Amino acid sequence: MTDTTSLFPKYAKSRPFVARHPSVLIFLVCLALFTLGVTILSEGFGIGVISTSFIKTLGKTLCLCLVALAMDLVWGYTGILSLGHMAFFGIGGYAIGMWLMYARTEIIVVQSLAAAPLPPTPQEISDGIATQIFGVVGASEFPPIWAFAHSLPLQLAAVVLVPGLLALVFGWLAFRSRVTGVYLSILTQAMTLALSLYLFQNDSGLRGNNGLSGLQNLPGLDAVPQDTVSMWFLWASAAALGLGYVFAAWTVSGKFGSVLRAIRDNEARVRFLGYSVEAYKLFIFTVTAIIAAIAGALYYPQAGIINPAEIAPIASIYLAVWVAIGGRGRLYGAVIGAAFVSLLSTWFTGGQAPDINLGVYTVQWVDWWTILLGLSFVAVTLFAPKGIGGILDLLEQRRSPDRHGADLGPDAGALREKEADT
């Protein structure tokens, strides 16, 4: 859909954004209906059909959809297969987690010191908080990176700034050296591996392997039940996803989007045309890193705990899997893929899926689900590169048969071999 409009820019300019992109409107309506439905069925605000633990799962899934959207922008539209975006997601989680832990602990410490015979000095309060937070890793002093943890606005700024800066520096170095294709993928994977190894160390100052925990309890809001808190986060996640979707749709429409897709299809040619390919790539890399970080900042308070295992390279690869299965180069594809695969994964590993008795052997999904996922992923790559989104495309094509064929994703257009064939 986005493609047709960008092919006819003059025609497109004369109509409002939403009208040019009916899919955005459809998506927003679906999202709103979903949120409303969940609210009505929830325990916190409705009739209690959906359990709070499932509300949390749904809320987390919305965040995953948002990060998949970012992945689709950077991979599906620009052709940069980043295997490191979950690192930015994790950094966002850590940044918000630091404030959540600090503020909650501060309340406890101040309360307990209030009973002491001497009023506490600021140093004693700070030591008390540090002992409580870092006691489990055998330290009792604040590492320098916790300097802003006392302030919510500063940590919220960190959610955006830290991953943004990291992506900017990393991207600038990589794109400047013209590291592309699989090399860039391996490099981003190395980045997330280095980050997770670094965080695994106790000396990293973020509690090593334990990570930050108890994030679901909002400081000062102990009295509010989780039934309610989980709904707040679900709404916030839905709002973020909606905004993210509009932003992404706006980015990939118009001339800017055309350049992105052109870079994906033939980077060298775009460069010859005089575009600063590096600047475009750097922009999209950084912006998607920030979107991922925001998604992470919303995700981890719902998950309750963040630790370095969340940033392991495998997480980023799964992100690519979601987008590929959903169908890259389509925003709704990314959302569908993330929601579909992660919910299915929850269902299969949750033990609810019925075992299949083959007589000689019983297939237990807990054991076989990963194999199924891996193989179906191979199958999608081989036989259905458009993913689930491709099915929607088919419907679309039936409605407007003269429409140009949708692209096949990052690799389809580019290679010289193919041109030599024709």
Partner 1 sequence: MSVFRRFCTALLSALLILVALPLAAQTADAPIQRLLQDHAEIIAKSSRRTIGPAIDALGASDLAQAQTVLEKWQAKEMWFNKDTGLFVYAEEIDRKTIRAFDFDDGSEIGEFDDKGFKQLKPNSGIRGLIGAALVQFQLKNPDPTVRAAALDSIERDADATHLLALRAVRDGETDAALAMRIDRLERLLTIRFADTDAERIAAITSFEGDLGVDVRAALNPLVATVVDAAAALPEDADVLRTVTPGTDLLPAAQAYEILVAGGLAPPRISRADQKAALIDNIQGTTVAGIEVASLDAQDARDLAYAALVRQGAVEEAATDADVARALEAHVFFERLVGGAPPVALAAQAVLDGIEAKVAVNQSIDLGLDALSLASIYFLAAIGLAITFGVMGVINMAHGEFIMMGAYTGYVVQLFVPDYTLSILLAIPLAFAVTFGAGVAMERLVIRRLYHRPLETLLATFGISIALQQLAKNIFGTQARPLTAPGWLDGSLVFNDIVSISYIRIAIFVLALLFLALFLIVMNRTRLGLEVRAVTQNPRMAASMGINPDRINMLTFGFGSGIAGIAGVAIGLYAKVTSEMGADYIVQSFMTVVVGGVGNIWGTLLGVTMVGTLQKGIEWLNPSNTLAAQTYMILFIILFIQFRPRGIIALKGRAVEA
Partner 2 sequence: MSTKLFTTTALLGSLAALPAFAQDCPIKVGVLHSLSGTMAISETTLKDTMEMLVEQQNAAGGVLGCQLEAVVVDPASDWPLFAEKARELLTVHEVDVIFGNWTSVSRKSVLPVIEELNGLLFYPVQYEGEESSKNVFYTGAAPNQQAIPATDYFLEELEVEKFALLGTDYVYPRTTNNILESYLQQKGIAAEDIFVNYTPFGHSDWSKIVSDVVALGADGKKVGVISTINGDANIGFYKELAAAGISADDIPVVAFSVGEEELAGLDTSNLVGHLAAWNYFQSAESDANEAWVEAWKARMGEERVTNDPMEAHYIGFNMWVNAATAAGTTDVDAVRTAMYGQEFPNLTGGTAVMLPNHHLAKPVLIGEIQEDGQFDIISQTEEVPGDAWTDFLPESAVLVSDWKELGCGMYNTETSSCVQIKSNY
- For binding to partner 1 (CB under 8 A), which residues are involved? 81, 117-123, 173-174, 177-179, 181-183, 185-187, 189-191, 193-194, 197-198, 200-201, 203, 313, 317, 320-321, 324, 367-368, 370-371, 373-378, 381-382, 385, 409-412, 415, 417-418, 420
181 binds, among partner 1, partner 2, none (CB under 5 to 8 A by kind): partner 1
Distance CA 86, CA 68 (A): 10
Count the site residues for partner 2 by CB under 8 A.
47
Distance CA 178, CA 182 (A): 12
305 binds partner 2 (CB under 8 A): yes
Kindly tell me which of 197 and 279 has the beta carbon lying closer to partner 2: 197
The mark string for 32-61 relative to partner 2 (x by CB under 8 A, - otherwise) is: -------------------xxx--xx----
Q: How far is CA 278 from the centre of its chain?
A: 23
211 binds partner 2 (CB under 8 A): yes
350 binds partner 2 (CB under 8 A): yes
Residue the block writes with tokens 């950077």: 74
Distance CA 154, CA 133 (A): 20
Kindly tell me which of 44 and 337 has the beta carbon lying closer to partner 1: 337
SS3 percent helix, strand, coil of the chain, rounded to 5, is 75, 0, 25
Closest among 291, 282, 281 to 245, alpha carbons compared: 291
CB of 370 to partner 1, least distance (A): 4
Structure-token pair, residue 421: 């064939």
131 binds partner 2 (CB under 8 A): yes
309 binds, among partner 2, partner 1, none (CB under 5 to 8 A by kind): partner 2
CB of 242 to partner 1, least distance (A): 29
Distance CA 244, CA 70 (A): 8
DSSP 208-234: GGG-EE-TTS-TT-TTS-HHHHHHHHH
Interface pick for partner 2 out of 140, 228, 258, 266 (rule CB under 8 A): 140
Distance CA 178, CA 174 (A): 6
121: DSSP letter: P
CB of 401 to partner 2, least distance (A): 46
Residue the block writes with tokens 């719902």: 302
200 binds partner 2 (CB under 8 A): yes
Closest among 343, 338, 312 to 325, alpha carbons compared: 338
CB of 169 to partner 1, least distance (A): 10
Neighbours of 230 (CB within 10 A): 26
CB of 387 to partner 1, least distance (A): 12
Give the residues lining the site for partner 2 (CB under 8 A): 51-53, 56-57, 104-105, 108, 112, 115-117, 131-133, 135-138, 140, 197, 200-202, 207-211, 213-214, 216-217, 226, 303-307, 309-310, 349-351, 366-367, 370
